[in-house]
Structure 1
């Protein structure tokens, strides 16, 4: 994951929490891992994509004297940084929370 969103380590902690929840709440390993995938793939893919976009924007903005954050940045920032691992809203993808 590109470092522009600073989320590599943070998503690892989220992954660990979700994996523990799934392993503790589903009867068998296969079901637990399938549920873990369903919970995590979309969120981490969105964060990874936005992080890569941020990296590209960094190189474009280095020539500007007052670079502006990408459109929708504040909404995305709220979705990423206000993540609550105990909330059911964590299972909703970005823009549907």
Structure 2
């Protein structure tokens, strides 16, 4: 099992998100996980499939993982909905614009 598959299962990451990279820094007691959106974007207001407009880089601090700080990094897509305009897709591990996860992802 690759480390990204292990982290995906541990954090319960589900489609359309995928873990594409994980780095363990033993000197800094830190784990950095890269999440990527795969596939079409959906409007968070009407659930319509929409074309991607652009993306925004975001970082969240999650609960510690085996005593190491855990950071989630993602290029969060924004979609262009014909009804609601340009809006950010729903992020399952975040509530709003906070820099911290609201709970462990997908739980």
One fold, TM greater than 0.5? Answer: no
> 1 or 2, which has the higher helix percentage?
1
Structure with greater Cα Rg: 1
Q: TM-score, normalised by structure 2?
A: 0.26
> 1 or 2, which has the higher strand percentage?
2
